Structures are given as structure tokens and as C-alpha cells.
């Protein structure tokens, strides 16, 4: 039998990290899935293998994975490596605490409670509560569960007996679709309310949608706003929607998975200044706070609701009333075993301080403003919106007009070539019937020069593609 020890793991890790940090590599170089299947042997077998085999695979794993630590990784809503958080992540695995009870996660529990306190302070929930979750998707699910529990407390025991209706904007993240599925609301009862050109929900359209449901005899129960929409980075207007939610007695949730950290910045927090008017807020630490996946939280303005909606079972063997019961976070959660994500977030926050996050956001917002200004000076580029946050949707504008499908093909081809030239790993997206390149600024290692180069390369690539017609338009 192969012998394995912690020391061997650590030695391997040292060598792997050394290689990872010293080797220059492209931001993305994995072949297509079928090709990789041919190249890479991930098979498992009856006989165990020595550490050399594990180490080799770990190196390949990191080489073939997109380099999300690179400032060239602009494809998704996260980018960059966070050494203090990594330390926390590694220690989390050694300690292997599980968050249901204080007895098996004493320090992590106190850390999570402190994090929740700090997050609530930023949001403006004075008596707020919260629990960490696997991501924004679960946070949005829990928010809708809280709303359902408020509108229809008997649903917890008797199931759904009314047609409840939820409202989000047409720019909301697809996790609300998952939530209505899981919670038995049904996707027909999730209304996508119209948004404006900046991707912000239109309050009058929201009110009309609610009135329409009432005419049908349905029961409106939930408004899900977004702070930093996934595609356009739009911030829904909280105050007018809060007024509507009060008038109709609906739960008001803010999905801040991407954009809530703006609250760290004195300069830019006005985008989400009315967050305290919500009933709940979702916040991802694994996006703009740059903590390794996964780390997120659901916050509620009123204490006690999480337990009321989520608790059930486990009291006969797990949640002992004589063992620090008031500190058991498990009854606020829908999970049993839950990783101690608090430690890596705590380590990161302790190392950065609130000011560190504020500085990072201010820096990225400045880069965004400068990049947008550059695009506006060029005749052959077009912005799909006026960005207020860290998503930039822009596209090439050939001298002779091209069809919408050609625009899409061109954006895809530009992204592919940017990746091929190892300039950047960007993405494309469609919004309101138009396709464009979606550039995300989440990594504060990105420099003004790098962004300037990116735009120049886009221009050069696009001109070449147009000249040769080489993009399947
Ligand atoms: C990313 C994102 C989500 C989903 O969060 P996960 O952590 O990936 O589950 C939800 N809402 C918005 C606005 C997002 O950008």
C-alpha cells in the first residue's frame, strides 16, 4: 500500500507552488474537451499510486486550468490570487471544521459571526443577521425562502397552497429561475420586469407587473433587485422599489453577489446607498473580494427569520441544547455539513482592512472610467451602455454596417484571437438584442497600459477580420 503523509503533501505543495509562480504561461491554453480526453489520463484504478504521480497531475491541472490568477483573466466576475485567503483555505482543510455546531467549529463560528456583523454594518442592517452560503445562487434561494415563509408560513409544513409571484428584472441572474424551481413557486410565476438601457429595473414596470398579478388573483410576495447585474453591471434603484415593496407588503431582496462590495468605497457606495431599505442582501466574497471559491453570505435585516424558515430536525442527535446552542449556526442554514468558509474570508479581510477593499474598488473604477473614455474617443468602437461599475460591453463598429449576427460572430472571433495572442481572456455576451465583448475588471493587478494594449489589439484584430471576412459573419 502506498504511504502518504502530511509532510509529503506539504513538500509536493511547495514544489507545485514554486513551479506555478515561476513559470510564465498563457492565460488559457486547454484544448477542446474531446482532445483533452485523449491527452490526459485521469483514470482511477485498483492499485494506489505514489506521490510523484499525484504531483505530476497537480502540475498538469494548474497548467491546463485557465490562469485565473492573471490580470489577463477578464472573462468572469472574479480574477486574481489572494495569498492571505489561500493561507486560510489551506488551514480550513487541515482543521476541517463543519459549521453546523459551535462544538465542532468554535473559532470559525466566532469568525463567521464577526464577518456577518461587518457585512451588516456595510449594508446598514442595524440588528441584522446572516449565514454563509455556497454562493450567490444559494443566497438568492434562501432570500426567496424567507420571503415565502413570510407570505405563506404554512408552506413549510403543508406545501404551497397559493400562487405566489416573484419579480426580478430581465437582467437578473439566472439563479432566481433555479430558486422558483426549487421552492415550488414555478417559473411561470417569476416575472422578468423590463429594465432600462443601463440594465436597471424600471419601477413603474414593476408596479404594473404586480397589479397584473393581482388582477389574475395571484399573490405577489418577492421583489429581487440586483446590485451589479451580471452582464451590464447595472444597479437597480432601491428606494423607489422599496416604496413599492412596502405598499404591497412584499419582501425586498438585493442580489449583490457581484456589486455589493461597492459599499466599501466612500466614493462609489452611492450606487447602493439605500441597501438598508431591503429585507435581505446576497453578497459573494468569491467575486470582487477575491477569496477562493466558494464564499458568500445571505444577510437579513431582521434577526430570527433564518432559523424560522430554515430550521427543522437534528435536535435529537446534533443540536444539543446544553452545548452552546445559541452559537449553532446550523439551524440558520439548509446545509448540514458546511465548510468553514469564514476563515479564508476573515484572513483576507484582516490582511486588507476595509480600506484595502475600498482602494481596490476605487482603483478598478478609475481604470474602467479611463478605458471607457478611450473607447468613446474611437470612431470604430461602440459601447452598449454607460458603465457605472466594472462590466464593460463594447464592440467593433465597421465603417459599413453589419448585421446583428455578424456582430456576434465578430465579437466571438475577437475574443478568440485575444486569447490566442495571450492578450486577455475575455468573454462575449448578448444584451437587449445586441452582442458585444464583455470585459470584466475584477483584478487590481491590471494596469492602464495593459488595458490600452487590449483595446489596440482589439482594433487591430477587428480590422484584420473585417478585411479578410474571416469571422463567419
Ligand atoms: C454570480 C452571480 C450570482 C451567482 O452567484 P454564485 O456565487 O455563482 O452562485 C448571482 N447573482 C449575480 C448578480 C451574480 O453576478
Q: Is the CB of 347 under 6 A from ligand 1?
A: no
The atom number, within ligand 1, closest to the CA of 228 reads 13
pLDDT tens profile 317-350: 999 988 999 999 999 999 999 999 999 999 999 9
Query: Residue 473 has what pLDDT?
Result: 63
| pLDDT level of residue 470 (50, 70, 90 thresholds) | confident
d(CA 441, CA 451): 10
- The residues facing 395 across adjacent strands are 382
pLDDT of residue 2 exceeding 70, the answer is: no
Set of cell numbers at residue 80: 486574481
Nearest to 248 by CA among 193, 191, 167: 167
Q: Residues, the chain, total?
A: 473
**DSSP secondary structure of 29-54:** ----HHHHHHH------SS---HHHH
**Ligand 1 probe mutation, 234, 255, 262, most atoms within 8 A of CB:** 255
| pLDDT level of residue 62 (50, 70, 90 thresholds) | very high
Residue 241: CB partners within 8 Å, gap ≥ 6? 201, 203, 206, 223, 225, 252
**Using alpha carbons only, what angle is made at residue 161 by residues 159 and 167, rounded to the nearest 5 degrees?**
95
Set of cell numbers at residue 178: 433555479
Q: Is the CB of 137 under 6 A from ligand 1?
A: yes
> 252 phi and psi, to 5 degrees?
-115, 115
**Ligand 1 probe mutation, 201, 230, 262, most atoms within 8 A of CB:** 230
pLDDT tens profile 282-313: 999 999 999 999 999 999 999 999 999 999 99
Q: In angstroms, what is the span from residue 309 Cα to ligand 1's centroid?
A: 22
pLDDT of residue 472 exceeding 80, the answer is: no
Average pLDDT over residues 128-148: 98
**Using alpha carbons only, what angle is made at residue 406 by residues 452 and 373, rounded to the nearest 5 degrees?**
25
Rg of the chain's alpha carbons, rounded to an integer?
24
Q: Is the CB of 143 under 6 A from ligand 1?
A: no
Q: In angstroms, what is the span from residue 31 Cα to ligand 1's centroid?
A: 27
Q: Is the CB of 258 under 6 A from ligand 1?
A: yes
d(CA 151, CA 162): 10
Q: Is the CB of 253 under 6 A from ligand 1?
A: no
Report percent pLDDT > 90 for the chain.
96
CA distances (Å), origin 273, targets 227, 268, 285, 379: 11, 9, 19, 35
d(CA 221, CA 248): 9
Query: Residue 326 has what pLDDT?
Result: 94
d(CA 61, CA 38): 15
Contact indicator for 108, 99 with CB cutoff of 8 Å: yes
The atom number, within ligand 1, closest to the CA of 137 reads 9
Q: In angstroms, what is the span from residue 131 Cα to ligand 1's centroid?
A: 16
Residue nearest to ligand 1 atom 3, measured at CA: 136
Query: Residue 23 has what pLDDT?
Result: 81
Average pLDDT over residues 35-53: 96
Q: Is the CB of 255 under 6 A from ligand 1?
A: yes
Q: In angstroms, what is the span from residue 64 Cα to ligand 1's centroid?
A: 25
Query: Residue 1 has what pLDDT?
Result: 53
- The residues facing 381 across adjacent strands are 396
CA distances (Å), origin 275, targets 57, 132, 266, 403, 446: 46, 19, 14, 41, 29
Average pLDDT over residues 176-196: 98
Average pLDDT, the chain: 96
Q: In angstroms, what is the span from residue 173 Cα to ligand 1's centroid?
A: 6
d(CA 335, CA 70): 33
Place of cell 440558520: 332
Q: Is the CB of 136 under 6 A from ligand 1?
A: yes
> 253 phi and psi, to 5 degrees?
-110, 145
Distance of CA 371 to the CA centre of its chain: 23
Q: In angstroms, what is the span from residue 136 Cα to ligand 1's centroid?
A: 4
Q: Is the CB of 284 under 6 A from ligand 1?
A: yes
Torsion (CA) 289, 295, 301, 302 in degrees, nearest 10: -160
Q: Is the CB of 346 under 6 A from ligand 1?
A: no
Amino acid at each position: 500500500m502506498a504511504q502518504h503523509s502530511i509532510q509529503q503533501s506539504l513538500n509536493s505543495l511547495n514544489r507545485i507552488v514554486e513551479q506555478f509562480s515561476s513559470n510564465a504561461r498563457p492565460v488559457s491554453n486547454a484544448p477542446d474537451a474531446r482532445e483533452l480526453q485523449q491527452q490526459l489520463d485521469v483514470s482511477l484504478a485498483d492499485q494506489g499510486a505514489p506521490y510523484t504521480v499525484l504531483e505530476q497531475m497537480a502540475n498538469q491541472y494548474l497548467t491546463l486550468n485557465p490562469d485565473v490568477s492573471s490580470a489577463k483573466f477578464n472573462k468572469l466576475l472574479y480574477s486574481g490570487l489572494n495569498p492571505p485567503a489561500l493561507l486560510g483555505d489551506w488551514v480550513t482543510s487541515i482543521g476541517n471544521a463543519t459549521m453546523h455546531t459551535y462544538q465542532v467549529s468554535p473559532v470559525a463560528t466566532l469568525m463567521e459571526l464577526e464577518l456577518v456583523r461587518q457585512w451588516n454594518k456595510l449594508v446598514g442592517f442595524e440588528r441584522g443577521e446572516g449565514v454563509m452560503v455556497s454562493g450567490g445562487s444559494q443566497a438568492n434561494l434562501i432570500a426567496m425562502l424567507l420571503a415565502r415563509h413570510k407570505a405563506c408560513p404554512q408552506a413549510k409544513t403543508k406545501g404551497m397552497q397559493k400562487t405566489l409571484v416573484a419579480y426580478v428584472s430581465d437582467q437578473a441572474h439566472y439563479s432566481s429561475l433555479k430558486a422558483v424551481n426549487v421552492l415550488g413557486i414555478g417559473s411561470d410565476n417569476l416575472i422578468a420586469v423590463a429594465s432600462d438601457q443601463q440594465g436597471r429595473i424600471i419601477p413603474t414596470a414593476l408596479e404594473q407587473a404586480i397589479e397584473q398579478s393581482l388582477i389574475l388573483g395571484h399573490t405577489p410576495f418577492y421583489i429581487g433587485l440586483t446590485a451589479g447585474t451580471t452582464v451590464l453591471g447595472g444597479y437597480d434603484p432601491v428606494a423607489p422599489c422599496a416604496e413599492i415593496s412596502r405598499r404591497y407588503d412584499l419582501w425586498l431582496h438585493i442580489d449583490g453577489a457581484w456589486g455589493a462590495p461597492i459599499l466599501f468605497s466612500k466614493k462609489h457606495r452611492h450606487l447602493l446607498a439605500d441597501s438598508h431599505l431591503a429585507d435581505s442582501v446576497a453578497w459573494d466574497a468569491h467575486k470582487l473580494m477575491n477569496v477562493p471559491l466558494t464564499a458568500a453570505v445571505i444577510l437579513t435585516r431582521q434577526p430570527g427569520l433564518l432559523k424560522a424558515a430554515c430550521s427543522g430536525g437534528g435536535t435529537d442527535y446534533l443540536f444539543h441544547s446544553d452545548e452552546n446552542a445559541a452559537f449553532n449556526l446550523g439551524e440558520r442554514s439548509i446545509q448540514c455539513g458546511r465548510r468553514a468558509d469564514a476563515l479564508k474570508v476573515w484572513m483576507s479581510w484582516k490582511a486588507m482592512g476595509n480600506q484595502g477593499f475600498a482602494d481596490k474598488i476605487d482603483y478598478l473604477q478609475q481604470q474602467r472610467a479611463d478605458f471607457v473614455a478611450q473607447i468613446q474617443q474611437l470612431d470604430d468602437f461602440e459601447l452598449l451602455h454607460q458603465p457605472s461599475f466594472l462590466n464593460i460591453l463594447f464592440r467593433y463598429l465597421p465603417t459599413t454596417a453589419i448585421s446583428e449576427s455578424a456582430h456576434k460572430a465578430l465579437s466571438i472571433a475577437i475574443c478568440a484571437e485575444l486569447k490566442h495572442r495571450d492578450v486577455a481572456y475575455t468573454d462575449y455576451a448578448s444584451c437587449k438584442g445586441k452582442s458585444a465583448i464583455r470585459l470584466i475588471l475584477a483584478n487590481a493587478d491590471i494596469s492602464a497600459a495593459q488595458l490600452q494594449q487590449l483595446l489596440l489589439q482589439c482594433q487591430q484584430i477587428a480590422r484584420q477580420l473585417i478585411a479578410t471576412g474571416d469571422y463567419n459573419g
